[in-house]
Amino acid sequence: MSAAVAWARRRASAADAWRRLRRDRLAMTALIVLVAFVVMALIAPLVSDRADFDAINTGGNPTNSSPSGQFVLGTDGLGRSMALQVMWGARISLLVGFSATVLMIVLGVVVGLAAGFFGGWIDAVLMRITDWFMVIPFLPLAIVLASVLERGVGTIVLVIGITSWPSTARLIRSQVLSIRERLYVDRARALGAGKGHIIGRHILPNVTPLILANTTLAVPIAILTETTLSFLGLGDPTQVSWGGLLERAGTTAVKAGYWWEYLPPGVGIVLVVLAFTIIGRAVEEVLDPRLRAR
Amino acid sequence: MRATFILRKLAGAVSTLAFVVVFNFFLFRVVNKNPVDSMFRGRNLTASQKAELTRKFHLDGSKWDQFVGYVRQLLRGDLGLSFKGNRPVVDVIAEALWPTILLVGFSTLLAMLGIGLGYRAGWRRGSRFDTTSTSLSMLTYSMPEFWIGMVLLGIFAAKLGWFPVGGLEDPGSTATGFSKLLDQFHHMLLPAIVLAIAYVGEYMIVARSAMIETLREDYLQLARAKGMRDDDVRRKHAVPNARLPVVSLSAINFGFVVSGAIAVESIFSWPGIGQATYIAIRGPDLPVLQGLFLLISAAVIVANLIADLLYGRLDPRVVGR
């Protein structure tokens, strides 16, 4: 019975949050931009074939040609259509961005929950490790990890997840520390509730909004890191992401003035990252009454 | 400052450094099962060649012996040999050090202009200046540093020809003395501007929110009640108190700027730590990568330690805790 009440209350507050978010015009614009990019990534296989990029099929195309009626965003040095490559690149960039974020959040939440809930030496050890990972500069760390492991999309996801969880862990820990001391948790404990019950029923539902806001703000980090790693040549050589496109263009295209080879992938990255940042901040503001007052 | 505070921070820094050393070893000698194979990818080696290389790069013996050997070597300041040309890693890094110190130092100074902007924006929260500068910082935050570099290189170097397209100085330049310095500065300006654009927003945002925090303090009210001019209230009472978060940010940002320099240096062929990293990734030249990772981490750890100690001086409250 009380669980049903709690869920009804949570649903109501989620609906309220969504209503407030809907009023934020900037955030809604960002959401539309984001949906557009996701749709673009999803329909890429419908409008083209990956074989379109094979040398055997691009032989007749002009190389390094500027945007024209036939090639909306021009072609690269091998005569491949930039427009199609940007569409396909969106798939990898978004896929890596989302999966790395999930890994990062899961690691951060597990460490943060364990440290905050159990306290004592578990907390001390976990926070020591978190501090280490906070201080070590994360791009060089990601670089050494990626260069030792096999190249591939999975490696990139793993590397980003491993290097960027600490701030989430700290955030979740401090939230758990405050929730743990609340009266209803004491009450549940007094009534004989086990640890699993307290975590699952009381702590987790209360940190969920925080996790949500943190997730939206973590995607940009993941996408930007993927871009940089791919640009440095640590990406999957068989798949092209936006960062991979920038790597291929390199300074050669820049110096030759082939702007259509490096501007579109970059603009894609900026728009997606900006959209996530705007939505993340809006979500944070809706969920945190203290920020709303400002 | 209390000695225990200093000791605690020092112990933290040392333990982080120890972790980096262990991690570094683990990564390159344990995760990477066969370093000799990975350095000569695709080339056929005879068993005796392999054995010799294994000995030369100290890859024989048990993992524990290797680890002890590695630490001993580090303590002597020896980072091993580069896979390329057999040069000591220390030499490869040493010659790349100065260009990066110059570039990172100069661009950090430029980016710190953001602190002033942030204070101003926070002081007049909601004003046009505030919304414009906050939006611009969000925009620059969303751009990969090296992409800013590509765009500026395309416009100002390739198209307009205002700046050289890369390098430390003009190729074949015989200039000496002041004109040589001027030439190098000319080469450094564009990459430095790129890094500054990438990180100015971070300084701005943190300075802004630090200022907003202090806005609620009673002593500002009191200062105003005394009849102080608005500008003086800001300069004499608000800014000094909003300085704390900016100090710790500078240390964190130092790590970011060095990281950002990796890709930006490779765009501008600036012969520093970043380009050395880029070249080592392409090799892959694992000993050099290992050495660079150790050096960059150590630099960032020291920067954090300094910031922590400085913070303790600026705000005596944290020392007692």
List pLDDT tens digits, range A257-280. Answer: 788 888 889 999 999 999 998 888
* pLDDT of amino acid A59: 66
Are A148 and B255 an interchain contact pair (Cβ–Cβ within 8 Å)? no
Nearest-CA distance from A184 to chain B in Å? 30
- Rounded CA-CA distance B80/B108 in Å is 32
| Across A83-92, A186-195, B58-67, least confident range | B58-67
User: Which residue does chain B place closest to A259, by CA atoms?
Assistant: B154
Collect the ranges in chain B with pLDDT lower than 70.
1, 30-45, 56-60, 172-173, 175, 320-321
User: What mean pLDDT comes out for the span A188-211?
Assistant: 83
Give the residue from A147, A164, A226, A242 with the most B CB atoms within 10 Å of its CB, the best one to mutate. A147
Asked if the structure places residue A203 within a domain, the reply is yes
CB distance from A39 to chain B under 8 Å?
A: no
User: What mean pLDDT comes out for the span A88-92?
Assistant: 87
B62 by Cβ neighbours in 10 Å (0-12 / 13-18 / 19+) ranks as: exposed
pLDDT digits (tens, 9 = 90+) for B52-63: 777 766 666 777
Are B24 and A144 an interchain contact pair (Cβ–Cβ within 8 Å)? yes
User: Residue A196 sits in which domain range?
Assistant: 20-42+75-293
User: Which residue does chain A place closest to B21, by CA atoms?
Assistant: A136
- Rounded CA-CA distance A17/B251 in Å is 36
pLDDT digits (tens, 9 = 90+) for A102-115: 999 999 999 998 99
Nearest-CA distance from A95 to chain B in Å? 18
Q: Nearest Cβ partner of B142 from A136, A149, A274?
A: A274
CB distance from A266 to chain B under 8 Å?
A: yes
Are A140 and B24 an interchain contact pair (Cβ–Cβ within 8 Å)? no
CB distance from A147 to chain B under 8 Å?
A: yes
pLDDT digits (tens, 9 = 90+) for B231-252: 888 888 888 877 777 877 777 7
CB distance from A84 to chain B under 8 Å?
A: no
Asked if the structure places residue A95 within a domain, the reply is yes
Helix (H) or strand (E) holding A16: helix A2-23
Q: What is the pTM of this model?
A: 0.86
Q: Nearest Cβ partner of B154 from A138, A139, A259?
A: A259
Are B142 and A277 an interchain contact pair (Cβ–Cβ within 8 Å)? yes
- Which residues 239-258 of A are in CB contact (within 8 Å) with B? 243, 246, 249, 251, 254-257
State ipTM: 0.85
Q: Which residues of A touch B151 (CB under 8 A)?
A: 262-263, 266
Proportion of chain A above pLDDT 90, given as a percent: 18
Confidence of residue A294 (pLDDT cuts 50, 70, 90): very low
Are B147 and A266 an interchain contact pair (Cβ–Cβ within 8 Å)? yes
- The total domain count for chain A is 1
Are A135 and B158 an interchain contact pair (Cβ–Cβ within 8 Å)? no
Convert chain B into a string of H (helix), E (strand) and C (coil): CCHHHHHHHHHHHHHHHHHHHHHHHHHHHHHCCCHHHHHCCCCCCCHHHHHHHHHHCCCCCCHHHHHHHHHHHHHCCCCCECCCCCCEHHHHHHHHHHHHHHHHHHHHHHHCHHHHHHHHHHHCCCCHHHHHHHHHHHHHHCCCHHHHHHHHHHHHHHHCCCCCCCCCCCCCCCCCHHHHHHHHHHHHHHHHHHHHHHHHHHHHHHHHHHHHHHHCCHHHHHHHHCCCCHHHHHHHHHHHHCCHHHHHHHHHHHHHHHHHHHHHHHHCCCCCHHHHHHHHHHCCCHHHHHHHHHHHHHHHHHHHHHHHHHHHHHCCHHHHC
Are A135 and B281 an interchain contact pair (Cβ–Cβ within 8 Å)? no
8 Å CB contact between A226 and A96: yes
Are A144 and B267 an interchain contact pair (Cβ–Cβ within 8 Å)? no
pLDDT digits (tens, 9 = 90+) for A25-62: 888 899 999 999 999 888 888 877 776 677 666 666 77
Are A233 and B281 an interchain contact pair (Cβ–Cβ within 8 Å)? yes
Nearest-CA distance from A274 to chain B in Å? 6
Q: Nearest Cβ partner of B150 from A145, A254, A270?
A: A254
Confidence of residue A248 (pLDDT cuts 50, 70, 90): confident
Of A279, A37, A228, A184, whose CA–CA distance to B138 is shortest? A279
Cβ pairs bridging A and B (under 8 Å): 139
Nearest-CA distance from B113 to chain A in Å? 23
pLDDT at position A68 over 80 = no
Are B15 and A148 an interchain contact pair (Cβ–Cβ within 8 Å)? no
* CA dihedral of residues A147, A150, A151, A152 (deg, nearest 10): -140
For residue B118 the two structure tokens come to 């942030």
* pLDDT of amino acid A1: 46
Of A201, A203, A161, A165, whose CA–CA distance to A182 is shortest? A203
Asked if the structure places residue A191 within a domain, the reply is yes
User: Which residue does chain A place closest to B289, by CA atoms?
Assistant: A144
Residue-wise burial string across B174-197, b where 16 or more C-beta atoms lie within 10 A, e elsewhere? eeeeeeeeebbeebbbbbbbbbbb
Sign of CA dihedral B247, B252, B253, B254: positive
* pLDDT of amino acid B148: 92
CA distances to A3, A9, A281, A286 from A16, in Å:
20, 10, 17, 9
CB distance from A149 to chain B under 8 Å?
A: yes
CATH 1.10.3720.10 for the B91-315 domain, yes or no: yes
Q: Nearest Cβ partner of B154 from A136, A138, A254?
A: A254
Nearest-CA distance from B25 to chain A in Å? 11
Are B144 and A227 an interchain contact pair (Cβ–Cβ within 8 Å)? yes
Q: Nearest Cβ partner of B153 from A233, A254, A263?
A: A254
Q: Which residues of A touch B20 (CB under 8 A)?
A: 132, 136
**Domain CATH code at residue A104:** 1.10.3720.10
* pLDDT of amino acid A104: 92
- Computed over every residue of chain A, the mean pLDDT equals 83
- φ/ψ region of A213 (left if φ > 0, alpha if ψ in -120 to 50, else beta) reads alpha
- Rounded CA-CA distance A151/A132 in Å is 26
Asked if the structure places residue A161 within a domain, the reply is yes
* pLDDT of amino acid A147: 85
* pLDDT of amino acid A98: 92
- Rounded CA-CA distance A206/A175 in Å is 9
* pLDDT of amino acid A293: 45
Nearest-CA distance from A294 to chain B in Å? 9
Cα separation of the two ends of chain B: 12
Q: What is the CA radius of gyration of chain B?
A: 24
pLDDT at position A219 over 70 = yes
Q: Nearest Cβ partner of A147 from B15, B159, B289?
A: B289
* pLDDT of amino acid B76: 82
Asked if the structure places residue A52 within a domain, the reply is no
Nearest-CA distance from A33 to chain B in Å? 15
